[in-house]
Amino acid sequence: GQNIDQPTEMTATEGAIVQINCTYQTSGFNGLFWYQQHAGEAPTFLSYNVLDGLEEKGRFSSFLSRSKGYSYLLLKELQMKDSASYLCAVNRDDKIIFGKGTRLHILP
C-alpha cells in the first residue's frame, strides 16, 4: 500500500471503544481519508482530515498528526454492524492511495 501501514485485524467487544492506527509516508501528503467497507460492498466515506487534530462525527472520530505521519480512527459504543474493514487512504499529490485495511471483528 505504498508505505501506508495499519494492523491487519483487530477484535473488540460490543459496546466498547476501539482505536485503529494508520501510519504513512509524509511526502506529497495533502490529507487522509478513512473508509468503511463491508464484505462484498464498495468502500463508504467516513472522514477526511487535512489539519492536525481530532474530528468527531457521532460515534466515529478521526485524528491526524501530519508531522508524525500518523492517524487513528476511534469507534465508540461499538455495534455488531461495525464489523467491517476500515481503510486508511492518503491523498498524495492529488492521488488517493489506500492501505491494505484493518478487518475489525466485533464480539457480542
When asked if residue 84 is in the footprint of other proteins (CB under 8 A), the reply is no
Site string for other proteins, 25-44 (x = CB under 8 A): ------x-x-------xxxx
When asked if residue 87 is in the footprint of other proteins (CB under 8 A), the reply is yes
Contact residue for other proteins among 38, 59, 95, 105 (CB under 8 A): 95
> What SS3 class is residue 14?
coil
Closer to other proteins at the Cβ: 45 or 56? 45
Q: Which residues contact 57 (CB under 8 A, 6 or more apart)?
A: 46, 47
**Residues counted in the chain:** 108
d(CA 21, CA 38): 19
Under 8 Å between Cβ of 45 and 57? no
Query: C-beta of 15: minimal distance to other proteins in Å?
Result: 27
d(CA 3, CA 86): 17
By the criterion CB under 8 A, which residues form the site for other proteins?
1, 31, 33, 41-45, 48, 50, 87, 89, 91, 93-101, 103
